[in-house]
Amino acid sequence: MGLTIQVGESQRPRPLAQNARRTGHPHISLFTLLHAESVLSRDGITSWDREGGFIVRHEKIGVMRTTVAVVFLGLVYILGIYVKITGMGQR
């Protein structure tokens, strides 16, 4: 088994960002990201991980993590509505 590294120690972010925005056109980039997601789901590895020689373990996201994310985003949305209604963000 390989070494465990922290996110900041990785060299992955640069190739990942370059791959995601390769064309420079937002709509086409969306399709390249969707394609990368389908390849990741099918093969369990992205093209930039394969090209970089990285061994990355991708796991399914559990129900608890999904629930926490949905609740958090819901609270942020509600807070945004509250700020808009009350005018708290204005001077």
Each residue's pLDDT, cut to its tens digit, for the chain (91 residues) gives 556 666 555 555 555 555 555 556 666 677 877 888 888 888 888 777 787 787 777 677 889 999 999 999 999 999 999 999 988 767 6
**The predicted structure's pLDDT at residue 74:** 97
Distant-in-sequence contacts of 59-66, Cβ < 8 A, 24+ apart = none
Give Cα 88 to chain centroid, integer Å.
Answer: 31
CA dist 36 and 17 (Å) reads: 12
Other CB atoms within a 10 A radius of the CB of residue 60 amount to 7
Supply the pTM of this predicted model. Answer: 0.43
